[in-house]
Structure formats: C-alpha cells, structure tokens
Structure 1
Amino acid sequence: MDLQLSVFLLFILFTAGHSLDCYVCSNSTGSCVGQQTVITCPAGSSQCMSSIIGIQVGGNSSTGNIKACAAACLSQSFNFGYVRTTVSCCNTDLCNLQDVPVPVATGKSCYYCDGQSCSNTVKCAGTEDRCIKVPASDFGQPTLVKGCVSKSLCDATTSVSFGNATCCEGNLCNGAQSVTQSVLFLCCSLLSYFLMH
C-alpha cells in the first residue's frame, strides 16, 4: 500500500511540474514560419493555438497568422464575407509548428451581410459546414451577422446562448432578408470572442 501511495505521489510531482511549450508569433502580413519563437506556457494554458485570419475591406485584403498558448482553445473556422478565421488547437509540446493552411472551398455557400444588404453570398471552405445567423443589437441599432461556420463553432455558440445564434446545414439556409447594421463592429466583437474562448 505504501509503495502504491509513493508511486502515485511521485507521478503527481512529475506531471504537475511539466509545462507546455508552444510556438508564438503574430504576423499581420503573412506566414509565421521563420519568425516564431518558443515559449513555456504560463500556468493554466493547456493548449497550443495556431490561426490564420483573412480580412477584406473594399478592394484591399490581408492575411495574417497568430500562434500562442491558450487556456481553452476550440478548433474551428468561420467566414463572415470580409473576415475569415481558421483556428487549430493541439496539446503537445511544439505541436503548432506549421501555419494553418488556407482552407479549400467546399462548394457550399451561405449569405453574409456587408452593411448594406444581407443578400451577398460567400463560399464556405475547410470545415465550414454550417451557415449561421446572429441577430444582435449594436448601440440600439439592430444588427445581423451571417456567414459560414464549422459545426464546433455552432455547438459552442448555442451552448453559451451567444446572441441567439442559429445554425443550419443547407446551402444558403441562413436567409437573405436585410437588417440595418453596424457589421464591422459586431464582427470584431465576435472575432475577439471566438479567439479568446
């Protein structure tokens, strides 16, 4: 019995002292490869995260990469027409070495809102297998965010009742009706929420 207790305590000491090592990088103009560094994650961080973010405003577009330690990370993807993000999570040392690849189009489409209309369509890519519609309020104005999302993101938003979000599986199933919007503000809020949770 004493031997079992000793082995158990020894196991706890060795596993409690192990910290996760992850690559970190923030590059707003392209790849992190060659620019990333290794850090030992702080207590409470149990995953390494790697993400690719694409933003399109008017005729200008940019793609960036972020790698970091994460306390809680959800592998997911979304595309709201002018903001696309794919996040990959892993839980072993230095597992986030590679940049997340740009997702490949799947043939599915969903509606998205651009501030003028919600009848625009966007092509889903990678794991984005659902359409989403998120009605909310922005400074007293009705707002609406629509686009493509992965199932994992739909499950997460419905479990926390985020802005009465509804997901559906059919092509263009998230409706084309128009709503007055302040879309950029709401999408930045959603992006921050999804990246931080």
Structure 2
Amino acid sequence: MAQPLLCILMSTLFYKVSSLTCYQCIPETSIKCTETKVECPVGQCGTMRTTSYMGNNTLADMIMKNCSATHQCTTATANFGITKLVISNQCCNTNLCNTQTEIELPKIIPNGMHCYTCNGEDCATTLPCVDKEDHCIKATVSSDGQMLTMRGCATESFCRGDLSTQIGQSSIAADQSCCKGHLCNGAQTATASRFFQLGILIYVILQTTL
C-alpha cells in the first residue's frame, strides 16, 4: 500500500516541478486584455500576434498570451488578395518568459508560386504567394444565409489548423480545402477539410468594419 502512495506523491511533485508558469492574456471583445499568470503543463509559453488586413489597411492587430503546445509555435498566414490574416506565435520555455509586447511579422517576399484569387464572382485572377505560403486555398463562407467564395495563398500551418485551439471558435461557417502546387485551387482541389480560421478572418473583418 505504501509503494503506490509513494508513486502518486512522486508524480505529483514531478508535475509541479515540470510545469511552467506563463502569462495569460486573452482578448475577448476588444484588442486589449488583462494579464494574469497560469500554470502550463505543456511546457511552453506563447505570445501570439494576429493581424488582419483589408487591402493595404490594417483592420485589427491583437496580442494574446497563453500556454502553447510545440506544434502551435509557428506562423500561419492566409492571403485572399483583398483580405489577409497573419498569425505569429512566438514561444519560450522558462517561467514568465512570454513578456513580449511586439512580435515581428513575416517579411513579404514573393516565393515564385501563384494561386487563383477571387474578385467578386470572377476567380480567374492570379495572386503571387509570399514567404512560406506554399499552399493554395479555396473556401466557401456562409454567413447570414449568404455564400462567399474565396481563393488565395496559405501556409501549411494554416491549412493544418495548428493554431486553431489558440484562436477560439467563430459562428461563421467556412468550408475550406488546401492543395500544394502552382494554381492548384481551380475548379477542383484536394485535401478537403473544415476549419474555422477562415471564419475568424471574416469575423474580424466584419466586426471591425461594422
């Protein structure tokens, strides 16, 4: 009987030693939030910057701090031409290390790849992809009974949904599919999936412009 109790005690002590204290700051109804401290058993602290654009104008620029899994320590972007979303999550692994108030956005350097993008109902225009955007994306968004088709460039991390649990849910439905290859998001695309990151993009745009 003593041995199982000793094992439980040792595992509890190990958990406390191996856990990490991180700053937590999650915006809800605005771009600002109140910073608190939280225990993170995953062993990573993260500072995530989410920036949305409409053309050359910045619509929203938010900083969020929280625990992060290793696969969430990445940069994810989706560019639909007129609208763009950039999510950059910088991680560290010491107590209260996520003190950053600014995170540098990825450089906008064309990588030679192109994807189709939509201008209204015309989706024959091509869009140059930049930085690590090595996938083409095609999405249909449903909001208030209206359907909107969007196409553009995206990173693999955006298509996989690596940062999905960090962002939170949106009430706007989005059917999304990604493919890898020059102009592959035409009439047919592969790797069909349903994620809500696109809904987050449209949600941010709508809330900012209302």
TM-score, normalised with respect to structure 2: 0.58
Consecutive aligned runs of 4 or more in structure 1 exceeding 4 Å deviation: 1-5, 23-28, 35-38, 42-47, 70-73
Residue from 139, 151, 155 that aligns with 2:156 = 151
For residue 133 of structure 1, report the CA deviation from its aligned partner. 0.5
The gaps in structure 1 that reach 5 residues or longer are: 29-34, 178-185
- The sequence identity of aligned pairs, in percent, is 26
Find 1:53's aligned residue among 46, 51, 54. Answer: 51
Q: 2:104 aligns with which of 100, 107, 122?
A: 100
Give the alignment of 1:1-197 within 5 angstroms: 6=6, 9-16=9-16, 18-22=19-23, 24=25, 39-41=36-38, 47=44, 48-57=46-55, 60-61=57-58, 64-70=61-67, 74=72, 75=74, 76-81=76-81, 82-88=83-89, 90=91, 92-93=93-94, 94-95=97-98, 97=100, 99-105=103-109, 106-115=111-120, 117-156=122-161, 163-175=174-186, 189-191=199-201
Aligned residues of 2:85 and 2:201 also touching (Cα < 8 A): no
> Does the 8 Å contact 1:46/1:69 carry over to 2?
no
Cα distance in 2 between the residues matched to 1:21 and 1:150: 28
Q: How many residues align?
A: 174
C-alpha displacement of 1:128: 1.6
Cα deviation digits, residues 137-157 of structure 1 (max 9, x gap): 333333212221111222339
Amino acid at match of 1:174: N
Distance 2:187 2:62 in 1: 32
Distance 1:115 1:124, change over 3 A: same
TM-score (norm 1): 0.61
1:106-153 Cα shifts (integer Å, max 9, x gaps): 222222234453334333223221011112433333321222111122
RMSD over equivalenced CA pairs, Å: 4.4
Change (3 A) 1:138 1:39: closer
Structure 2 unpaired stretches of 5+: 163-172, 189-195, 204-210
